[in-house]
Amino acid sequence: MFPRVQRRLNEVGFSFDPWQQGFGTIALGCRADGKFAATVGGVAASIPRQVGKTYTVGGIIVGLCLEFPGLKAAWTSHHNRTTTNTFRSMQGLVKRKGIAPFLAPDRSMGIRTTNGEQEIKFRNDSVIMFGAREQGFGRGLDEIDVEVFDEAQILTLKALEDMVPATNQARNPHGGLIFFLGTPPRPDDPGEAFTAKRQQALKDKPEGQVVITRGKQAYVEFSADPDSAPDDQTQWPIMNPSFPHRTPLESMERMRENIPDDESWNREARGIWPKVSRHAAVVKHAAWQAMRRNGPSADVRPDAFGVDMSHGLDISIAACWLEGESAHLEEVWAGSNVAEALDWLVEAAGWQAEVVIDDISPAAQMVPELKARGVNVRRSSARDMAKACLLFETRANADKLTHGGQSTALTDALQGARKRPISDAGGWGWDRRDSTVTIHPIVAATLALLGGVTQGPKKPSGRIATVS
């Protein structure tokens, strides 16, 4: 559809640079049946600041409005300030001499500026509505043909649930179309939805390419070389194709001056995603459910145990059994009484099975007592945690990991847990920083896996009872 849209825009004096033409071609590409190729998964774009995302997508939507009478578009940002700035930019765009005559012939020239009801309406009944997600914009909308999720790095699943159904009755003959526009999420952003788009797009593709993944979504990413120095100006035309002819040198220098932190600069201006993203689920829920298996028979003692404690001092003890090339994990004790946990571990583990406890965990307080009572306990390091998490991830991806499914705590912990980088070599560990997310059961299971794999299988000698 892009050639039709571009011709219409050229007629009203609106033009695109080559990279924007390429973006439009991908975004509006159609299948043989005439439906947008990205009508199911949408168009996701991770593009740094000061490149021209708003101008590009805004121009595409204006062209669609001119080409298709009655088209309905909704543009939403997370923050009200961003929404207002975008609305002002779009006002400037449609008030151009060539486009203004196509606006609705009312006293406001088709532009409604009332806060919460901001919109641009055309003579042919096409309309672009604007609103902030933080103020609930999008709920109750229907028959929307195009949706734009600006600031997609701050996009919650609730917002998607509120707004995506609005495109189910899209009237455009080529189907509904959703745009996800953003930069790499900050560590504390609710960036799971945007990260999932990237993970899906890059699953079997090299980074830095424009790709169509399985005919469902389009994904575009601009970034500097992740291994380049933060102030390497030879990267500027790579990460920002509008430099220098649209975004001048002084604009880039001004942005760098006001974003002195290298991590923020790499993320916001250079478009670089972290090698370890805390927003990506390590194992998706459906895959985890498929790993559920009955555990070993009752006469098989665990090969290792892992122990962890939450911020609220709740304790989880997990066990690992090795079965050939596969490992089986279960939560086997849960509670908050340290003395009871110690007594249980001494009886269950004895001197044979290794008990692994992370050095920085509150559960490390149990190590001296366990040693004094003859338990084979290991106080693991950050390097051990990185090794354990890599074992967990690779075995899960290779279908060499199972779990009993008898404890919802373990499943809930996995779904809420996210990664944190360990060193700069791609290692990672479970992120403990958010005290509102309970992750200690999955930490305990991961440590049990480490103990089992490094110590090797034990001979059968009576299995312990597990939690119900």
Q: In this structure, which topology does domain 285-455 adopt according to CATH?
A: Nucleotidyltransferase; domain 5 (3.30.420)
Report percent pLDDT > 90 for the chain: 62
When pLDDT is averaged across residues 189-207 and rounded to a whole number, the result is: 75
For residue range 42-64, what is the model confidence (pLDDT) as tens digits? 999 999 999 999 999 999 999 99
301 — alpha (psi -120 to 50), left (phi > 0) or beta?
Answer: beta
**pLDDT value at position 461?**
47
Q: Is the pLDDT of residue 34 over 90?
A: yes
**pLDDT value at position 213?**
46
Question: How far apart (Å, rounded) are the C-alpha atoms in residues 163 and 160?
Answer: 5
**pLDDT value at position 215?**
56
Q: In the block, which residue shows the tokens 């806060």? A: 115
What dihedral angle (degrees, nearest 10) is formed by the CA atoms of 403, 405, 408, 412? 40
CB 419 within 8 A of CB 430: yes
Report percent pLDDT > 70 for the chain: 91
pTM of the model: 0.68
Q: Is the pLDDT of residue 423 over 90?
A: no
When mean pLDDT is compared over 129-133, 164-168, 229-233, 456-460, the highest value belongs to 229-233
Q: Is the pLDDT of residue 351 over 60?
A: yes
Q: Is the pLDDT of residue 185 over 80?
A: yes
Q: Is the pLDDT of residue 159 over 60?
A: yes
Q: Is the pLDDT of residue 409 over 90?
A: no
Q: Where are the domains of the chain?
A: 2-268, 285-455
**pLDDT value at position 16?**
96
Assign 296 a pLDDT band (cuts: 50, 70, 90): confident
Q: For Cα atoms 308, 425, 267, give the angle at the middle one, nearest 5 degrees.
A: 95
Q: Is the pLDDT of residue 202 over 80?
A: no
When pLDDT is averaged across residues 131-157 and rounded to a whole number, the result is: 87
When pLDDT is averaged across residues 127-153 and rounded to a whole number, the result is: 89
Task: Please report the beta strands in 299-442, taking only residues with DSSP state E, as ranges in sequence order.
Answer: 304-309, 315-323, 326-335, 354-358, 377-380, 401-403, 419-422, 427-430
Which CATH number describes the domain made up of 2-268? 3.40.50.300
**pLDDT value at position 212?**
47
**pLDDT value at position 331?**
94
Burial letters 418-438, b for 16+ CB under 10 A, else e: bbbbbeeeebbbbbbeeeebb
When pLDDT is averaged across residues 312-317 and rounded to a whole number, the result is: 92
Pairing label, strands 419-422, 427-430: antiparallel
